[in-house]
Structure 1
Amino acid sequence: MSSFSELRNKEVINIKDGSLLGCVCDIEFNSCSGEITAIVLPGNGILASLSAKNRIVIPWCDIERIGKDTVLVKVRGDLLGLQK
């Protein structure tokens, strides 16, 4: 298991299409177990980091690998609300 400080600011890449989704800006966790349940990325746009409604939430189960500088995820773009 990783901690927020280890995940923060890592680039997130979708291995389905090779797209860079953004950098980890927050996490969601289970308050009872303390386990991370999802990573959160800012949405698209200039003010995306200020708006919670445009954020991209990626469930922990969709993470394939966590590397030194990147997090590899496997999600469909349409599930993220991203335009291709």
Structure 2
Amino acid sequence: MLKASDLRQREVINIADGKKLGFISDLDIDVEEGRIRAVIVPAPTKILSVFGKGGDYVIPWEKIKKIGNDVILIELSDFTEPKKGM
């Protein structure tokens, strides 16, 4: 069995470009069906934008290819940086 806290300790890596996205901060759960719809990884913030929020990576569960002991491998070939939130 895999716990949500276990997922938060694994780094998310996009195998399409090898980019390290960070660590899972939250889950999008469909309560009625009892399944995870997406994982959420906070985007890195820029050093100069102390008060700005960099947005979040929302990664659909279907894009997760492998959950290992140390990392979670995803495949997003059409990946774009998240937009800044307000």
TM-score under structure 2 length normalisation: 0.76
Specify every segment of 5 or more residues in structure 1 that has no aligned partner in the other structure, as ranges: none
The number of aligned residues is 79
Measure the CA separation in 1 of the matches of 2:20 and 2:79.
Answer: 15
Specify every segment of 5 or more residues in structure 2 that has no aligned partner in the other structure, as ranges: none
- Counterpart of 1:37 in structure 2 is 37
- Counterpart of 2:64 in structure 1 is 63
Quick check: 1:9–1:25 contact (8 Å CA) kept in 2?
no
- Counterpart of 1:12 in structure 2 is 12
Taking only the aligned residue pairs, the percentage that are identical comes to 35
Measure the CA separation in 1 of the matches of 2:7 and 2:80.
Answer: 20
Please give the secondary structure, in 1, of the residue aligned with 2:17: coil
Deviation at 1:9, TM superposition (A): 2.7
Please give the secondary structure, in 2, of the residue aligned with 1:13: strand
Runs of 4+ in 1 over 4 A off after TM superposition: none
Quick check: 1:38–1:58 contact (8 Å CA) kept in 2?
yes
Measure the CA separation in 1 of the matches of 2:8 and 2:67.
Answer: 12
TM-score under structure 1 length normalisation: 0.78
Quick check: 1:56–1:80 contact (8 Å CA) kept in 2?
no
When the two chains are superposed, the root-mean-square deviation of aligned CA atoms in Å is: 2.5
Deviation at 1:4, TM superposition (A): 1.2
Which of structures 1 and 2 has the bigger CA Rg?
2
